[in-house]
Structure 1
Amino acid sequence: MAYIFRTFRKPLVGKQKEVLEGTIELRKLMGWSGQGAVTQGFTNPTGFISHFRRFETLEEISEWLNFTKPDTKVIDKVYELNSICESYANKIFKVIKPMSGVDGNLSDYLRDCQIHDQWIMHCKVGERQKVIDACIDQAENFNGIKPNVSITLSSPLIGGVFVTRLLKNFNELEDEGNDKTAPDFIKKVKDLVTGFDRHQTLLHHD
């Protein structure tokens, strides 16, 4: 079972570029460069900037957090970034089903991707497992890369289910609109959720 540690920041107006560059610098200090990526909104240029990394166990996350506590360079950079942001939050995602459907090495494929495409299902109370099962079943019907399915362990969206793909270009989003995948995907879970969100963000590989 894998886990994704992801940090979100909402930059103050006019500080988007500074936060983006600072996040890449922070990842170098943390030793995260080349592991995961940085995301930046493109339809909403004043939106969130995030970055993420994959861990194999929760113990690895705990060890990493304990390792960075005494690192003043990392802590100072975090405070510096947070001082030019409206909000800041860390989330841990548990990956129930990994991405698949790529010929060759998945890591190499993901390094060429430019778009982070994510659906968020807001589950009704007691229905999360049914939503997870439906999302896993429907994931295999997506064209191209098959999305991962994950849940949050530490987030206000504690009942959320996330379906995530990394895409190479915008054309893959347009192509999806010409088949039945997205509408059928919604139909499978619409009676089990209170609503949906979908976000596409640009990927920056460091």
Structure 2
Amino acid sequence: MPYTFRSFRKPHVSKIREVTEGTIELRKLMGWSGQGGITTPFTNSVSLISHFKRFESMEEIDQHFEKMSSNKEVGNKISELNSYCDMYANTVFEVLRSPSGPNFENMKKNKYVIQFWMKAKIGKRWDLADAVIKNSVGRNGNMPGISVPIGSMEPGDIVMTAPFPNLSFLPTFEESRSNIKVMESVQDLLIEPPKRHITRLLFD
């Protein structure tokens, strides 16, 4: 079962550039360069910066972070980055369905990511995941990935993610009617309407 490890930071408004550049440096120290990527604010109203890497098992995550815990350079860089931020959190996501299609196969050509975060009613998390997987539709042969955080997160319980190469790839208001099926299938399972965020996607 694959997993994605993702770190989130909310930088001070004047420190977005420093946190972005510092995240690239941190990933180099951790040996993550060229694996996964970095997201930076675009229409992300909370101005979060994140970076992520895929792992094939929890054991692999354990082994990696045991090794990193003794690396003083990594610890110092994390402390430096966090001094520029109001919030810092690490999260592991279980990947229920990987994204697929031309955009995913040419991942490093993508410049943006769109994510829908959904918050389930109590006891409805599994039904919500099933409904999203069954009813989510792709565009131009691209199917979104579906993942779930292993711990509670304020934005939501289920995340639908799709990378894309440029803004012209986004559906127009009329074209977005294709999402009606999945939204109707989950409306009775949600505490609140899904949140949609678009972020820039960087690769190191």
The DSSP-based 3-state class of the residue aligned with 2:89 is strand
Match of 2:199 among 180, 198, 201: 201
In the aligned structure 2, how far is the partner of 1:175 from the partner of 1:185?
A: 17
Give the match for residue 151 of structure 2.
154
CA contact (8 A) 1:97 1:136 kept: yes
Give the match for residue 134 of structure 2.
137
Q: Structure 1: which amino acid aligns with 2:191?
A: T
Q: CA deviation at 1:159?
A: 6.4
Which 5+ residue runs of structure 2 have no aligned equivalent?
none
Q: CA deviation at 1:52?
A: 0.3
In the aligned structure 2, how far is the partner of 1:11 from the partner of 1:158?
A: 18
CA contact (8 A) 1:114 1:166 kept: yes
- TM-score (structure 1 length as normaliser): 0.92
Give a deviation string over 1:118-142, Cα, whole Å, max 9, x none: 1011001111111111111123x22
Q: CA deviation at 1:102?
A: 3.0
Give the match for residue 28 of structure 1.
28
Taking a change above 3 Å as real, the CA distance of residues 85 and 177 of structure 1, as seen in their structure-2 partners, is farther
Taking a change above 3 Å as real, the CA distance of residues 157 and 12 of structure 1, as seen in their structure-2 partners, is closer
Paired residues, number: 202
CA contact (8 A) 2:40 2:50 kept: yes
Which 5+ residue runs of structure 1 have no aligned equivalent?
none
Give the match for residue 178 of structure 2.
181
Mean CA deviation greater in 8-17 or 178-187: 178-187
Q: CA deviation at 1:77?
A: 0.2
Give the match for residue 100 of structure 1.
100
Taking a change above 3 Å as real, the CA distance of residues 134 and 176 of structure 1, as seen in their structure-2 partners, is farther
Match of 2:110 among 93, 113, 116: 113
Give a deviation string over 1:151-187, Cα, whole Å, max 9, x none: 1113434960111111111112134751422222211
Q: Structure 2: which amino acid aligns with 1:125?
A: I
In the aligned structure 2, how far is the partner of 1:63 from the partner of 1:179?
A: 42
Q: Structure 1: which amino acid aligns with 2:65?
A: L
Give the match for residue 59 of structure 1.
59
Give the match for residue 165 of structure 2.
168
Q: CA deviation at 1:116?
A: 1.1
Mean CA deviation greater in 74-83 or 148-157: 148-157
In the aligned structure 2, how far is the partner of 1:8 from the partner of 1:119?
A: 16
In the aligned structure 2, how far is the partner of 1:44 from the partner of 1:135?
A: 22
Give the match for residue 124 of structure 1.
121
Give the match for residue 41 of structure 2.
41
Give the match for residue 2 of structure 2.
2
In the aligned structure 2, how far is the partner of 1:175 from the partner of 1:59?
A: 42
In the aligned structure 2, how far is the partner of 1:45 from the partner of 1:198?
A: 10
- TM-score (structure 2 length as normaliser): 0.93
